[in-house]
Amino acid sequence: MAALLSTNPATGRVIARHRTHSKREIEARLAAAHAAASTWRATSPTARARHLRSFAAALHRDRAALAALVTAEMGKPVSDSLAEIAKCVDGLRHYARHGAAFLKPEIPPQAPRGVSVVPEPLGVVLAIMPWNYPLWQVIRAAAPALIAGNVLLLKHASNVSGTALALCALARRAGLPAGVLDCILAPSSAIPALIADQRVRGVTLTGSTAAGRSVAGLAGAALKPFVGELGGSDPYLILPDADLAEAARTCAAARLVNNGQSCVAAKRFIVHPRVADDFIRLLAVAMSAYRVGDPASPDTQLGPLAREDLRQELHAQVTRSVRRGARLVIGGKLPSGPGAYYPPTLLADVTPGMPAADEELFGPVAAVQIPRDLDAMFAAANRSVYGLGAAIFTRDTRRARARHAPRLEAGMVFINHAVRSHVAVPFGGGKASGLGRELGRPGVLAFTNPKTLWVA
């Protein structure tokens, strides 16, 4: 039977081989999830909340070992892995505290007497998750789904199989009933049959746009709800009145977060021509200051990419952009030595038709575009198939909120702040960046049936 390899991207060495589950084992885990769904839905939100709090406590207690495993499998600095676990703990506690309020029956305005709408769980939700935030992506889907009364069957990215197994084992040790949160180790070829299975009632995916199209098509054919958080090429607009020093620091952090491997990392910097030279200089300084090194060291700020093939793909995008006229300000050279490292890289004079303008760059590469004026800046920001997040840097926050933010085709707009997720706030985008929302009340209700109840 095939093995799923966990490879340390800082060294290139295989650290574990995980046996894929057989068809019989996958069937057993799906059957256990289906059986658990009927019991879990009958469990009160208050009792579900107690389980989430116990899970949060277990994550916090085992954070050091989990952080080391995440760092070893996908290469993010261990300080980032610890921060990711802290966010998971916050997320579980938030939905334990507020989930019951989201699930209260509603009485629609002008509804007849005796009418209420009751959100009821669907059952087994198949969660197809990526490697870049191997804990938070799971909890971001799981906490709202579980508090709503659903159960989660996880199909994680193969290169973080160890993290998937550890998380699900921890859930069981924390007291979650068997089948409420479990994982299967299988290739992507197993996904169509799982989605088609009548016991799976909903599908959530975080991944590429191509994967989203495929999985959404399968879910649609099976008439099952689908939530997809897909790719992004977030534009950060630097207006002429921005605090350039603060903007550059924020933008550098937003571009290099998670080794540059985040759907909501800053990707395209769209700068007004009056301040372009100064901003490029400040951004180059800020990015160059990041400490690249062993991700297991607490002093490291930037580790390797998660896989060597991802590094090669990123470098090819940089190379093609430079050949088409982009100016290489810093970085852009493949380093020697072991590991999938890529240096902080800044491309200026980027224009449409270059990979740096048209494609998602999943790594520590910043692309600066300099449109002729303010209107052209917003046109450039929207000239993308993606519509996940966007940010505006300006001293006039009132104008930004009232006039600039509505012009951006994005699911989330931040003003003088990096785009990010928060445990309490709906998260997601439009266009090729996905369907539906995670987190917040929409996330809790995403996999529920709004049942109309009419009592005479």
Known catalytic residues are 229, 263
User: Is-contact 128 191, C-beta < 8 A?
Assistant: yes
Q: What is the DSSP string of 345-413?
A: EEEES--TTSHHHHS---SSEEEEE--SSHHHHHHHHH-SSEESEEEEE-S-HHHIIIIIGGGS-SSEE
- Per the listing, tokens 């992004």 go with 232
β strands within 44-150, DSSP E: 115-121, 124-128
Question: How many other C-beta atoms can be found within 10 angstroms of the C-beta atom of residue 163?
Answer: 25
Strand, coil or helix: what is 445? helix
Structure tokens at 425: 């706030």
Element (H, E) at 72: helix 63-74
Element (H, E) at 434: strand 434-435
Q: What is the DSSP string of 129-168?
A: --SSSTTHHHHHHHHHHHHTT-EEEEE--GGGHHHHHHHH
Strand, coil or helix: what is 207? coil
Q: Is 410 exposed, middle or buried (0-12, 13-18, 19+ CB in 10 A)?
A: buried
- Find the length of the chain: 456
User: Is-contact 357 350, C-beta < 8 A?
Assistant: yes
User: Is-contact 404 398, C-beta < 8 A?
Assistant: no
Strands 200-206 and 124-128: parallel
User: Is-contact 383 352, C-beta < 8 A?
Assistant: yes
